[in-house]
Amino acid sequence: MTTEVSGVDPHLVFIRDDVVPRTPEGCEECLRIGSPWVHLRLCLTCGHVGCCDQSPNRHARRHAGLVGDPIVASFEPGEDWRWCYVDEVFV
C-alpha cells in the first residue's frame, strides 16, 4: 500500500486532463457481454468506463488491477468525486 505524502495521494499524477469516455453509453465490458450494472466509474488515465463494486462484475476495479490505472471518477450524473484503488481513499 502506498503512503500519502503531505495529505496528497501520489497517484494523482496518473490523471490526464484530456480523458474522453471510451463508452459513454455504459460499462465497456458489460455492454459487450450483455450484463447489467449499478453505477459507472470513469478511469481518469485512459477513459475506460467500468461498473462499480456493487455491480455483479466490478469491471472498474478489475480494470484498475489489470492495467494499473489507479484513479476513477464517478460517471454518474450529479456526482463529483474521485477514488484511488491503490490507497482505497477518496482523492
Residues shown for the chain: 91
pTM, entire model? 0.91
pLDDT score for 8: 83
Query: What cell does 4 get?
Result: 500519502
Task: Please check the confidence at residue 1 and state whether its pLDDT lies above 80.
Answer: no
Which residue segments constitute the domains of the chain, with CATH numbers given? Answer: 38-91 (3.30.40.10)
CB atoms within 10 A of CB 74: 16
**For the segment 35-61, what is each residue's pLDDT rounded down to a tens digit?**
999 999 999 999 999 999 999 999 999
Paired strand residues for 89:
84
CA distance linking residue 90 with residue 72, whole number of Å = 10
* Band of residue 7 on the pLDDT scale cut at 50, 70, 90: low
Confidence of residue 17 (pLDDT cuts 50, 70, 90): very high
Confidence of residue 6 (pLDDT cuts 50, 70, 90): very low
Q: Report the amino acid identity of residue 13.
A: V
Neighbours of 56 (CB within 10 A): 11
